Amino acid sequence: MTEMLRLSDTTLHHLATNVKQPGYNRAEVRIGIVHLGIGAFHRAHQAVYTDSVLASGDNRWGILGVSLRSGDTKEAIGPQDGLYTVASRDGGGDSFRVIGSVAKVLVAPENPEPVLIAMADPEVRIVSLTVTEKGYCYSPATASLDESHADIVHDLAHPHAPRSAIGFIVEALARRRANGTAPFTLLSCDNLPSNGETLKRVVTRFAELRDAALGRYIGENIAFPSTMVDRIVPATTDADRATTARATGLFDAWPIMTEPFTQWVVEDHFPSGRPAWEDFGATFVDNVDAFELMKLRLLNGSHSTLAYLGYLAGHETVADVMKAEGFGAFIQTMMDDEITSTLPPLPGFDLDAYKAQLRERFRNPALRHRTWQIAMDGSQKLPQRLLNTIRKRLEQKKPFDYLALGVAGWMRYATGVDEKGQPIDVRDPLVGQFKQRTTGKTKASDLVDAFLGLEEIFGADLPKSQQFRETVAHKLESLQKHGAAASVLV
């Protein structure tokens, strides 16, 4: 049996006829965007919008992808000339499209200098980021730079050989300033509240620590538009690779499996220019905060709650959780009775339809989005996805029992032992602190006290709230006594 051809520029003509491929000459594409954090989400989202821009005839916006940690993405799509397949999946079947907007991938830890050279190139007018919450080297409770973070300490001591996204950004801006090159726009596409403002805060503070004048320059001259991004992107499996190969006729080492739905809301502040993403579905607005808060609290908050409680109840995927008794009704009540009242008005936006659409997306049987995957890095996600919503409910003097069960579910999960006494592979930057604080503790109130000592998650205010402490402890006790499946029925 002959070995299947691998996806690349030279094999594109072998693609199955029903697979959409780049409708432009990739050799003519110029690099206009450097993207830090070239993971699955970026390749399913911003890179797809940009591929459409390139196909429209504007060849100035090719993407240089940068991996800040491992070389996995480069190893997968580098031999494929940056090409990869996006499969949109729902109950009606799959559709496949090859994306060509990623022109090249660099691995920063292998050699930081080529990354810095690229970021300093005058043709690069946007540096975008999907580095996840922990990539900002900030305290999630305060959204300020963690000046004791190991990467920040390193980058201040070795500014010309940075490790963090923040270090790369500031060094590149320092070089452009020294060369008289116009600055690029910084575009955060991560799930952070006011992500542009958060990025500005940490970048400017880091620059101030390096050089006060550089900090002032960045604060006064760099644009940091905020965004809201939305598309569910499960981790790719070997079965997905096999499915993609059969459908397209070419082997792809790292195809992306996602849902048909995609949304991108962007503040329109790009002094150095930008692609016409709005021609292909992006929405440009003056202020993205209301959209972002809606998505963080309704989608991300519900998603995390389903992940922790669903995992504890023994369900592998979100769709499995939504099929189980009680979970769909639980999430709908949490959305309607506890989250909606905390959102700012969105005139003309049908919020009820949006919530119904979210629940339908969660039920998509073709997306095998694992609860364990969503549960990763909970310490970084909890403040903006659940805790800030609870703060608003406390301010409104309204109950938050459903949200509290989500927080208790995270605590139960973070102890590292499931309902059957089996170990949980907890992936989190603070996992060492979890173990240190909870070892030997079994009583719900003691565990809550232990977790509330993590000020970087809960801040200084929530641990002082007797209502918060008692409500979460009551919910954690229910999880311990009755389990997650029964607790959502109460």
DSSP 228-295: EEE---PPP-HHHHHHHHHHHSSB-SS-EEE-S--EEEEE---TT----GGGGT-EEES--HHHHHHI
Compute the half-sphere exposure of residue 462: CA atoms within 13 Å on the CB side of its CA: 29
Low-confidence ranges of the chain (pLDDT < 70): 1-2
CB 344, CB 297: distance < 8 Å: no
Alpha carbon 459 to its chain centroid, in Å, reads: 22
Residue that is last in its domain, among 219, 251, 285: 285
72 and 152 part of one domain: yes
Residues 238 and 133 in one domain: yes
Same domain, 87 and 221: yes
Position 234 scores a pLDDT of 93
For residue 114, give its domain range: 9-285
pTM for this entry: 0.89
Residues 260 and 312 both lie in one domain: no
Q: Are residues 267 and 371 in the same domain?
A: no
- Do residue 293 and residue 281 come from a single domain? no
> What backbone torsions phi and psi does residue 401 show, to the nearest 5 degrees?
-65, -40
The reply to whether 339 and 263 lie within a common domain is: no
Domain annotation covers residue 1: no
2 falls within a domain? no
Rg (alpha carbons) of the chain, rounded to whole number: 23
246 lies in a domain? yes
Q: What integer pLDDT is reported at residue 137 of this predicted model? A: 96
d(CA 15, CA 52): 19
φ/ψ region of 441 (left if φ > 0, alpha if ψ in -120 to 50, else beta) reads beta
Within 10 angstroms of residue 320's Cβ, the number of other Cβ atoms is: 19
For residue 256, the cross-strand partners are 86
Both 240 and 265 in one domain: the answer is yes
Give strand pairing partners of 186.
Answer: 127
pLDDT in tens, 199-245: 999 999 999 999 999 999 999 999 999 999 999 999 999 999 999 99
Which of 256, 285, 314 terminates a domain? The answer is: 285
Last residue of a domain, one of 285, 302, 333: 285
- CATH code of 355's domain: 1.10.1040.10
pLDDT one-digit tens code per residue, 288-315: 999 999 999 999 999 999 999 999 999 9
Length of the chain: 490
